[in-house]
Amino acid sequence: MKIVYHPRYQEVYASDPAAKAGRMESILKEVSPHFELVTPEPASIDDIKLVHTDWHIADIQRMSQTYEVALLAAGGAIKAAELAMSGEPAFGLIRPPGHHASTDSCWGFCFFNNVAISIAKLRVEGKINRAVILDFDLHFGDGTDNIFSRVPEVVYHHLEDRNRQDFVDGIARFLDKQRADIIAVSAGFDRGVEDWGGLLTTEDYQTIGKLVKEFSERVCQGRRYGVLEGGYNHDVLGKNVKAFLDGIS
């Protein structure tokens, strides 16, 4: 299991909660002693154009620091996907998040759709045909859903349930019905009991990670990776991410 990380992810590039000082450090403190860190390169413009329009890219370019870090975040997701394809489970400890970024618009602390770019790149390079994207963030990833809504080979799934056991069981039921060459996870931790959603425990995140691991080993030759989306309580964020990584690895 490798963690894709770049020191620039610590930069406070905006005033939103995802960019808040100390957020990445709280995760890094928990995971860096246990997993190898790998440094990504920024995504290329051609990579970003796989899912975003020229207009949208130009709009983000006006915010120079945000643009640079967003390219690194997309590059981190690409690196995580490449590691997964080589047989190494990976997690993109990246920011800005991405699942609210559509082809020509964005909101919700997102700028480029990291997970969508990484899957699109694998597909255009002929490395995969079918993919599953599991999103357990508190919020629906409308951007990811929009991007792949007309691509039947890419299944995006976001769960909505107010009962924690039903939520976890729902993931298991969904995965039991899927077939894919790789599974990617939009891993948002704002559904935690001490975060905005107030639902999932630290142990639940480990269980979800195990379900992803078991699916990948059963269906797609172990190819699995995740990327960070939400999660805003710094006191517990690192522990929840570590639990998920323990499960998925």
Q: Of 132, 44, 40, whose CA–CA distance to 90 is shortest?
A: 40
- Residue 137 in tokens: 């963030």
AA letter at 6 = H
Tokens 């490395």 correspond to 127
Task: Classify residue 178 by burial, with Cβ atoms within 10 Å: 0-12, 13-18, 19+.
Answer: middle
Q: Could you give the CA distance from residue 27 to residue 163 in angstroms, rounded to a whole number?
A: 26
List strand residue ranges (DSSP E) for the chain, in order: 2-4, 36-38, 90-92, 131-135, 154-158, 182-187, 224-228
Which residue among the candidates 100, 139, 157, 158 is catalytic per the annotation? Answer: 100
Q: Among this protein's residues, is 139 annotated catalytic?
A: no
- Residue 218 in tokens: 């059963």
Contact status, residue 18 vs residue 69, Cβ threshold 8 Å? no
Task: Classify residue 117 by burial, with Cβ atoms within 10 Å: 0-12, 13-18, 19+.
Answer: buried
**β-sheet bridge partners, residue 190:** none
> Which residues are the active-site residues?
100
